[in-house]
Structure 1
């Protein structure tokens, strides 16, 4: 159970978020409010309040950050993107939710004692509200991280955050993962899963050690992107940061994250921007096609398990366990492939005698398909990959070559997307990155030779911007929510 400090942190962090927007430039406030909340606040904890979404490390920077951004900028931040492709994917997510509810108006009968109720119209609102956290962060990033400085700010903040976070990570690697229990009063996951290779892997204040590992891998690769992009006198510093984070990644003891980083390391070190972007596009296409390939039996799962067994019997057993349960979920999803089964465990398989849930879902892709069907999966993952697909076309239309910074961050995003196949490591950091890249490309598509922050040109004091929310004219002109 969370202690008093965990509850207190969740209660005061809305004020911290608002203070960031009041005292910082809006670009910095967007980035640091999301990163600080996610890395510091307690995991697996939420405070339910009436009329507003529950307070959690996901919702606080999204909901209160959005309100603060609207107040300080004197306008509503639009939730609908300019890009037609991104609009299509977003529509599939939102309206697919309605389709899920309409096609699941029947209860699921497990046995006489276990009946999972049908979905009601109210559940459509609940499911849409579940999207609100990532949607608001994505919208804030898309609106304000729209120039080179915005993308650079995110990249530097991610690297600096994990240079700082390495201190508690190294403590847990040496002393065992206990910080969340010591500070917030409970351990957020299964302690046994933090024991690897005769030692420990860190979890700090995140959901699992795998989440820590993939974000460390992203920070490591981002440091290399910054080194490639930096002026000659600054390259060495970023390379040193990258080397340190690379060692930290090894100490995280996550084979998957380490394989991603090692496989793509030559591309990040020596590949041209065009190659980086092509690799990111190829990865994104394979991710969107993966469920169909997996369902058609074109993914050699048995051979993969045998290959892993040559390195570690325990890892091979874990991989085989995942594949077994994915097969069960795919069989279940095949019964309602378009809009899925909805939530509340309707997408799972059960023991007909005991009513026990026999399913274990690890990958974000199989969770999305089971709950939202292929419509929801394509919309959700397509929205994440949209800036990767749009980047090359946007720069060609602008008559410019794709720079290393943009292509490198697109490839960092692709690394996170790859990890959504074995794991559900979708975090606010992911949405911050994909939203920022999309906003960058949307402004580039408007013909700006060097995308400029939508707030950089305005030197109006914050008090005047705040007044714009209640009627004063703002330099940007009126903006609707949609």
Structure 2
């Protein structure tokens, strides 16, 4: 048994015990988020393949998708949170009532079994399905049980902000040093040096899968802290929360992840501006349709971006401008995606069922969406995100256009933060493989709020 497995077992046992003093929703949030933040990513060994170079780290897959191993920080965090939930509030599970909106997520978890009819699954279909149940199904279920009202959502936000704040010493150290705390604690990290050099100093990694994921996580924490400070119900709490928000905003800016910071600015504009919120409500459906159309065109390869970039003056100028501005990684990511499109199109609808479907390329694409399409097809993508999109849509509709009009979210309700966070994380997943896994808790928490929840009543977290 290797050291990483021992750490996982230790976390599962201690995480269940340590959270005993917290209310169930807070205990579940802490158990899950602490695992995602502080555990080692996985036992990251070179896979047995003839097509992937051991000199490149890009064979490492995001833990949000099943690949060569079952034990990862994501699976251990989910199982720990599930144990905490069963230990602290087993009766809550008996009160759970499935809804049709749950079907797509749980169908995704079964999809590898259905793919057996046309593919040779890798990993084994049973293992892949079980992994998806743990990584996707379990957080979704826990969110439906514990984070579907105001108090539960505030508990999640407070846990996210508080645990992220504990990373401040690591962030400060790694910003000014090229040393990595992860390597001191857990051993080599394949992405330790990828994107480490920034405009000033270095971008921290902490215990995340990738520096890009760290940057987006910090921006999400800062966005939550800013909203929490604005809507704190007690003045003394508001002052403390402003200090926390300022610290996390500083850490987010110091990460120097330009794409994540743009998303942070976009999210803050929606949360803090009434006109921006109204614009989102009016534009949500047209934006979703336009996004679906753009993705369809992109996946079809109708517009040959690589050819345009290499053989036209305009394309060459844009690509050169990106490199000159220090954003050459964007052009590289798009190039990786474009190279993968011919292979994806071979099994575009149902997917290949193979975690390493990209092997003939010698390296994988960089976007999570393409990685999922290659493995599970367009069917898998629709199953994964349709429930989330439905949850967001019902929350941004004006009164009179939603089936949940009596539960409409106001600017001071945490459900709006959840909806905006989902938009940011899903946009980031287009160009980054390492998604923010609490997306599942956030999305599940938006589905069918409990009838007793009220957007404007005081929270027990603030009283």
Q: For residue 423 of structure 1, what is the aligned residue in structure 2?
A: 432
| CA deviation profile, 1:245-293 (whole Å, cap 9, x unmatched) | 2222221121210121233433232236544555666665555444203
Alignment map for 1:189-204 (pairs within 5 Å): 189-197=191-199, 199-204=201-206
Matched, 1:342 2:346: no
- Residue 245 of structure 1 corresponds to 248
User: Does 2:60 match 1:63?
Assistant: no
Query: Distance between the aligned counterparts of 2:305 and 2:287, measured in 1?
Result: 18
Equivalent residue, structure 1, for 2:40: 42
Partner of 2:336: 325
How far 1:213 moved relative to its partner? 0.5
TM-score by length of 2: 0.79
> Residue 325 of structure 1 contacts residue 360 of structure 1 at CA under 8 Å; is this kept in 2?
yes
Could you tell me how far apart the structure 2 residues matched to 1:428 and 1:324 are?
26
Structure 1 residues 67-78: aligned runs within 5 Å: 67-75=83-91, 77=93
Matched, 1:11 2:20: no
Counterpart-to-counterpart distance in 2, 1:277 and 1:228:
21
CA distance in structure 2 between the partners assigned to 1:206 and 1:371 by the alignment? 23
**How many residues end up aligned between the 2 structures?**
419
**DSSP-derived class of the 2:358 partner:** coil
Note the alpha carbon deviations across 1:142-197, whole angstroms, 9 max, x for none.
11112101111111222222222122111110122410111223234242432223
CA deviations over 1:9-34 (Å, ceiling 9, x no partner): 22211112221454432111110001
Q: Does 1:443 align with 2:450?
A: yes
Query: 2:117 maps to what in 1?
Result: 102
Structure 2: how far apart are the matches of 1:218 and 1:280?
20
8 A contact 2:407–2:449 mirrored in 1:
no
| Contact 2:267-2:420 within 8 A present in 1 as well | no
Tell me the secondary structure at the aligned position of residue 172 of structure 1: helix
Question: Does the Cα contact within 8 Å between 1:33 and 1:65 map onto a contact in 2?
Answer: yes
The offset of 1:238, in angstroms, is: 3.4
Question: Does the Cα contact within 8 Å between 2:31 and 2:81 map onto a contact in 1?
Answer: yes
Distance in 1 of aligned mates of 2:117 and 2:179: 44
Aligned residue runs from structure 1 range 271-350, under 5 A: 271=274, 273-275=277-279, 285=289, 287-296=291-300, 297=302, 302=309, 306-307=317-318, 309-310=320-321, 312-313=323-324, 315-345=326-356, 347-348=357-358, 350=360
- Bigger RCO (CA 8 Å, 6+ sep): 1
C-alpha distance in structure 2 between counterparts of 1:299 and 1:410, whole Å: 33
Is there any run of 5+ residues in structure 2 with no aligned partner, and where?
46-68
- Is the Cα contact below 8 Å between 1:276 and 1:408 reproduced in 2? no
CA contact (8 A) 1:79 1:139 kept: no
Distance 1:309 1:149, change over 3 A: farther
- Per-residue deviation, residues 393-444 of structure 1 (Å, max 9, x unmatched): 6965343542222223211221111100000232332222222222xx3424
- State the Cα distance separating 1:392 from its structure 2 match: 4.3
Aligned to 2:155: 153
2:51 aligns with: none
Deviation at residue 236 of structure 1 after TM alignment: 4.6
CA–CA distance in 2 between the matches of 1:390 and 1:79?
23
CA shift in 2, pair 1:305/1:224, >3 Å: farther
5+ residue gaps, structure 1, are 48-52, 105-117, 351-356, 457-482
- Cα gap change, 1:359 to 1:309, in 2 (>3 Å): same
Q: Is the contact between residue 139 and residue 440 of structure 2 (CA under 8 Å) also seen in structure 1?
A: yes
Q: Deviation per CA, 1:274-320: give whole Å up to 9, x if none.
A: 44555666665555444203135469785788546435437454222
- TM-score computed with the length of structure 1 as normaliser: 0.76
What are the superposed Cα offsets for residues 195-250 of structure 1, whole Å, 9 maximum, x if unpaired? 22352100011111111100111111112222332237244543443333222222
